[in-house]
Structure 1
Amino acid sequence: MRIAVTGRDGQVATALAEYGAAHGVEVVRVGRPALDLAAPESVRAALAAVRPDVVVNAAAFTAVDLAESQAQAAFAINAAGAGAVAEAARALEAPVIQLSTDYVFDGEKPAPYHEDDATGPVSVYGASKLAGERAVAAATEDHVILRTAWVYAASGKNFVRTMLRLAQERDAVRVVADQRGCPSYAPDIAAAVIAVARNLAAHPRDAALRGVFHLTGQGEATWAQLAEEVFAQARAAGGKGAAVIPITTAEYPTPARRPRNSRLDGAKLARVHGVVLPEWRQSLARCVARIYDTERQGEPGA
């Protein structure tokens, strides 16, 4: 099976390439300049050159705060660009998997969100991703929308790596403790995406396999609890941790509002596709160990 994934260097695109190489799946990353979601006219030719069995749209405008002042760019990439990818997939007679986000919800529900809960984004980024979901669904019936949340990896810019860096610079870190979600490790997401892709390719006319699904790590945490576990794993790996000082969202103002509740219920994905991600602490331990192993290998004489 050959999968075309948009976005060359993103956390999920990178993880997809690694997982595919280890599990007999050809993953072709397609990005700028050949494919630019801000230039929809570039999309069809770039994907057609790959001749994929499945298309995964992992590219996005992900700078949540910057999107508040660059709404046009965010919508061009996350909405119009996503629609162009889905249209190209339809022309290639290939299913498309669109990665989306918990930010399509307002975060006010007291329990985890289900796929059929009412959406209500409170940020430009969330609104642009919801528009992308709708553009994909309008372009082709042969689609899966996977909403995920709190994504991190051993490389790239993410919360886990930021906490490890801050621990090297200070003894205590102030972290928001009134937002709750489900931390999700990019390699786990990649494994799930490829499992879904295989199901779609094997059952091209099964409507039950299509639609919207939630994909996150098992369990939940606040950002402060996640930080505490990052530092615990860092110490276990021989690194440095820091004390966590819990604060409120109001004490850490940002241009974009964040959902207070980012928990997504993954029961539908488990039931329909047989996909369940690991418990988040297990995956975090793997991630932190990989970060330290990589650093040690890069040391002189290592």
Structure 2
Amino acid sequence: MSPGDEHDYRGKDQGSHPDDPYSTLGGTRQTRTRLPDGDAGHPHARRPARNSRSLVTITGVVVLLIAAIAFANRGSGSDDAAAPGAKSPGTAGSATAATGTKPVQGKNGTIASGFAHDEQGAQSAAANYAVALGSAEMFVAESRRSIIEATHDPAVAPGLQDSLDTAYSPTFYKNVGLNDDGSTPTGLTFVSRTVPVGTKAVKMETDAATVEVWCTGLVGLSGQGSTKPVTETWFTISQELKWVGGDWKISSSSQTEGPTPVNGDNRASTADEMAAAVDAYGGFTYAR
């Protein structure tokens, strides 16, 4: 979200786009995949056209996650090849149903912890970490540091903390509509939420896993006079997880746009209704 040279999750230089304040953060840019206009169920359906403001705003929620994981991915190996002996669960998703195994044993601050040392635990960890890294608390220095410590491998967390402290600058805050210190302007409510729709284990080893989390999200400023209204976005996060210190932790991640459904006919809520909903409804602890 701040201008400068950026890198994708694998450290490849993507170029600079200083004119797009919502698409970069601390010199990083998300990797986005453009999906076809139609799908198997709706071969002739096309996404509604987005105006320029919507296109800029809609990238906001994904960028929150990029900021938290871009540094950790520098120098990581390719995600394409599975390690010898790795279990590949396949492409078919399984139902989210009770297994009899308690997936979460405790909490690290406000984030679930103590996940089971198996595929179910890895999926639950990935979903919960996606929520934390896409939250409004990432915009506050103290809570941001707590989130990174709770979700990332200690081997990459310190460097990531330094990178994010630089990225969340007064210029960056201004670009997203906040005050120079990251606080929300009087009379407005800052919204940033990530909501997992489903998870899939792509690779599973004893102490390592690759889990994809399909998400929808909300981002923007709600309230009378907001010039950056709350919008939704759809994206998929791929997390490389390691079993560290008795729990699953993120070692690297990547992210793509979609899959995105066709917009429905729901009436957009007023700014006051949206602000009231954000205050009234809390989030969830996710389990697989």
TM-score range, shorter chain: under 0.3
Bigger share in helix: 1
Taking structure 2 as the reference length, the TM-score comes to: 0.27
Return the TM-score normalized by structure 1.
0.26
Which is strand-richer, 1 or 2?
2
